[in-house]
């Protein structure tokens, strides 16, 4: 999407360097990070320099390509398999991560040994390109659901920063906006990492979409007040039965939407669907550092990045990064192939 | 309750000075603020130097007493009536504020003109003493509901800092703890002002109650995971039909508790019940400054209080401070007179 008039993707490969937008600095500054080694790329995934299901997947694909470029000519396979292992260990929940690693690995191993790097690079680029195309297709499918004047709630950031381009949950909003529809977006701030207040608000401002950030606590209030017409969120993994893993708090919004008769949509590429996970209870939920809850991060009045401790020194926190929304709360899933009921996901991947 | 071995109330009157714990500094430092004029006392309510339904009420009562002490002997009534007006305009939602102002005003006006200050001071002290006693009575009644090993979720701070002493939602926890019951408390951090992470965690740490702070988003996850046995929250105002106004996000937790079959208790003194409000929709909901959402406040690594902007410069926020939980989600209300079903509140005040 556009940043100050220039088109950017969230992550790309230039020769042997993975380049990505430094997402923890958004919205305060816009910087590109250069990663010269696949281990640095893995570290960037773990530290959430890049985050969001699709962007993590594309980055992992590029990390594999980078490993293939770094691999010793005499024995590239062991090196690449080791890289797959390192990249797999970075984040446990996002299905796209495993999908991209496995896909680049399989393509690289299937071809002739001397072309392994070339094949890996082509496959990683294909994953990124498909990600961007799928984002746009999700946008076109989802925009059909958005009426003129619609007031939409979203949670976390499933925008273009979470993918390679376009995004999942925000893509229908961008398409509807370009179709000239009037919209208003309530962006949950999405504690603890505030991806809604930081990233979604930054994206919406960049695309000129009218919006307000709200505390996560306020979403139910606005639903009950009749000020929200629909909810659209993304997903990190969808189980075969249609249960949806997404950012912590998604389950709360889904239950509240159902209670208030508001449609609740999940927008995600079909690569998010994990047919090997029978139900949501089989999806591993990452527990992250308690410091994400005990501290707040932002820019102080002098323009310096700062962190501020909120809780007493002796207090601990618990910090599950994701939750599971059972399929019964999901009105429909918006995919690049169209809109499906959660019960139909089993046939969608074929 | 105890602070470093000394007993404190949240607010008290010494001669003509209202003294109170400076709550925005908790948990980082413990300071007492001295207010010499009722207008300063009103400002302290507005700026949330003191907050929480019961503490606001007691403070407003002391502000009225202070006004009576400041009033010119020749025409004290106009001065005191003006003070009531100023104090009434500080915060719109808490029923206890209006209750205390009206009660001190009525008592002062009913007595002989020359004893007006003495009567106002006695009435204000009586309100504070009753608040402390009611807090303890709520604790004793509520502790009956808490089984050994219970895991309790609470939202915001309805502890002793929110009252004169003991508190409402936390009082049963303190009583149960002193009865030797094993407990674990999940404290919602309670964005945007983080009273859960700051105040509730500080109180629980002070009383030695095992606890963890969680992002508000995580409460539903733990309910669904079967890790929460009951929810106890406070209230700023209860309508005649049992609808409950409380800190923003309470409604979300109530819906989620019902969905997961978890009892949801509201602990509040009967003075919180407003028989002049037929339903929750008649309770005015305060909208506070958007800066509370757009910035985070805390202590930086050098120990200095700091604020950090989270959202982009061009982004606005909406910030309702309270929401209304319809009576159907409330299992029971814990009052100083015992435990009542929400439908029974109409008779409770008589």
Cα–Cα–Cα angle for B50, B53, B58, nearest 5°?
Answer: 65
**Residue B342 pLDDT exceeds 90:** no
What does the pLDDT read at residue A348? 41
pLDDT of B135 > 50? The answer is yes
Of B271, B206, B201, whose CA–CA distance to B54 is shortest?
Answer: B271
pLDDT (0 to 100) of residue B173: 98
Average pLDDT value for residue range A297-304:
79
Average pLDDT score, chain B: 94
Query: Residues B60-99, buried b or exposed e (16+ Cβ, 10 A)?
Result: bbbbbbbbbbbbeeeebeebbeebbebbbebbbbbbbbbb
pLDDT of residue B93: 83
Tell me if residue B150 falls in helix, strand or coil: strand
Is the CB of residue B201 less than 8 Å from the CB of residue A310?
Answer: no
Tokens encoding A220: 């139910």
How much is the average pLDDT of B11-26? 96
Q: What is the mean pLDDT of residues B174-202?
A: 97
Cα separation of the two ends of chain A: 30
What percent of chain B lies above the pLDDT cut of 90? Answer: 86
Q: From the centroid of its chain, how far is CA B311?
A: 29
- State yes or no: pLDDT of B76 exceeds 70: yes
Q: Average pLDDT, whole number, for chain A?
A: 94
Span B264-277, average pLDDT: 94
Residue from the list A204, A220, A300 with its beta carbon closest to the beta carbon of B251: A220
Q: Using 50, 70 and 90 to split pLDDT, how confident is the model at A102?
A: very high
Q: Do residue B221 and residue A320 have CB atoms under 8 angstroms apart?
A: yes
Q: Residue B123: what pLDDT? A: 98
Model confidence at B59, pLDDT cuts 50, 70, 90, reads very high
Q: Is A110 helix (H, G, I), strand (E, B) or coil?
A: helix
Q: A251 and B220: CB-CB below 8 Å?
A: yes
The Cα–Cα gap between A250 and A329 comes to 11
Identify the pLDDT of residue A306. Answer: 81
pLDDT digits (tens, 9 = 90+) for B198-256: 999 999 999 999 999 999 999 999 999 999 999 999 999 999 999 999 999 999 999 99
Closest Cα of chain A to B248: distance in Å? 6
Query: Who contacts A15 (Cβ-Cβ below 8 Å, separation ≥6)?
Result: none
Per-residue pLDDT reduced to its tens digit, A134-185: 999 999 999 999 999 999 999 999 999 999 999 999 999 999 999 999 999 9
Which of A76-80, A317-321, B269-273 shows the lowest mean pLDDT across its residues?
B269-273
Predicted pLDDT of residue A347: 40
Whether the predicted pLDDT of B3 surpasses 90: no
Task: Please give, rounded to a whole number of angstroms, the shortest distance from the CA of A284 to a CA of chain B.
Answer: 13
Chain B positions touching A252 (Cβ under 8 A) are 217, 219-220, 252, 256
Q: Which two tokens mark B16?
A: 């003509």
Structure tokens that stand for B50 in this block: 């003191």
Q: Contact A216/B196 with Cβ under 8 angstroms?
A: no
Answer whether B300 sits within 8 Å of A299, measured CB to CB: no
Catalytic residues of A: 236
Sequence-distant (≥ 6) Cβ neighbours of residue B100 within 8 angstroms:
B57, B58, B60, B61, B64, B124, B127
**pLDDT for res B69:** 97
Kindly state the average pLDDT of the residues B137-141: 98
In this structure, chain B runs to a length of 350
Evaluate whether B201 touches B176 at the Cβ level (below 8 Å).
no
Closest CA to A100 of A53, A134, A136, A137: A53
pLDDT at B349 over 60: no
Distance from CA of A202 to the nearest CA of B (A): 6
Structure tokens at B321: 């401070």
Residue A64 pLDDT > 90: yes
Give CA–CA dist A69/A42, Å, rounded.
15
Contact A307, B308 (CB under 8 A): yes
**Annotated active-site positions of B, please?**
236
Name the β-bridge partners of A307: A297
Q: Which residue of chain A is at minimal alpha-carbon distance from B293?
A: A215
Do B296 and A298 lie within an 8 Å CB cutoff?
A: yes
Enumerate the β-bridge partners of residue B21: B32
pLDDT at position A344:
64
Confidence of residue B345 (pLDDT cuts 50, 70, 90): low
pLDDT (mean) for A16-44: 96
With CA atoms as reference, the chain B residue closest to A260 would be B255
B324 contacts A310? CB cut-off 8 A = no
Nearest to B217 among A248, A299, A300 (CB): A248
β-sheet bridge partners, residue A6: A3
- Confidence (pLDDT) at A345: 57
For the ranges A15-24, A57-66, A305-314, B128-137, which has the lowest average pLDDT? A305-314
Task: Give the residue among A218, A280, A107, A76 at the shortest CA–CA distance from B317.
Answer: A218
pLDDT at residue B337, rounded to an integer: 97
Phi then psi for residue B258, to 5 deg, are -60, -45
Count of CB atoms situated within 10 Å of the CB of B207: 17
Does residue A4 surpass a pLDDT of 90?
no
Terminal-residue alpha carbon distance, chain B: 30
The size of the A-B interface in CB pairs under 8 A is 220
- B71: its two tokens: 């009033």
Site of tokens 């694909």: A61
Sort out which chain A residues have CB atoms less than 8 A from B318's CB and list them. Answer: 186, 212-214, 218, 222
At residue B348, does pLDDT exceed 50?
no
Say what the pLDDT of residue A290 is. 96
């Amino acid at each position: 999407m556009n940043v100050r008039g220039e088109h950017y993707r969230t992550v790309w490969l230039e020769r042997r360097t993975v380049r990505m937008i430094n997402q923890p600095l958004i919205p305060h500054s816009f910087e590109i990070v250069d990663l010269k080694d696949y281990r640095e790329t893995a570290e960037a995934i773990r530290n959430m320099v890049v985050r969001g299901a699709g962007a993590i997947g594309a980055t992992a694909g590029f990390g594999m390509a980078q490993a293939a470029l770094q691999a010793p000519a005499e024995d590239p396979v062991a090196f690449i398999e080791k890289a797959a292992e390192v990249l797999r260990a970075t984040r446990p929940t996002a299905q796209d991560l495993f999908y991209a690693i496995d896909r680049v690995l399989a393509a690289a191993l299937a071809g002739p040994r001397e072309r392994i790097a070339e094949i890996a690079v082509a496959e990683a680029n294909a994953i990124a390109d498909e990600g961007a195309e799928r984002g746009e297709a999700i946008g076109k499918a989802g925009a059909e659901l958005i009426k003129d004047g619609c007031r939409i709630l979203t949670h976390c950031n499933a925008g273009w920063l979470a993918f390679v381009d376009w995004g999942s949950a925000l893509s229908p909003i961008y398409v509807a906006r370009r179709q000239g529809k009037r919209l208003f977006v309530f962006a949950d701030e999405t504690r603890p990492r505030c991806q809604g207040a930081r990233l979604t608000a930054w994206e919406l401002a960049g695309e000129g979409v009218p919006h307000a950030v709200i505390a996560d606590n306020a979403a139910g209030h606005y639903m009950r007040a009749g000020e929200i017409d629909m909810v659209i969120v993304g997903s990190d993994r969808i189980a075969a039965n249609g249960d949806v893993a997404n950012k912590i708090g998604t389950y709360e919004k889904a239950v509240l939407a159902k209670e208030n008769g508001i449609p609740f949509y999940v927008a995600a590429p079909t690569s998010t669907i994990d047919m090997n996970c029978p139900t949501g209870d089989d999806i591993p939920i990452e527990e992250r550092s308690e410091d994400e809850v005990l501290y707040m991060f932002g820019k102080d009045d002098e323009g310096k990045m700062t962190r501020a401790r909120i809780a007493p020194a002796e207090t601990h926190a618990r910090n599950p990064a994701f939750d599971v929304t059972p399929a019964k709360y999901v009105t429909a899933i918006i995919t690049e192939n169209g809109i499906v009921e959660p019960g139909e996901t089993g046939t969608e991947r074929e």
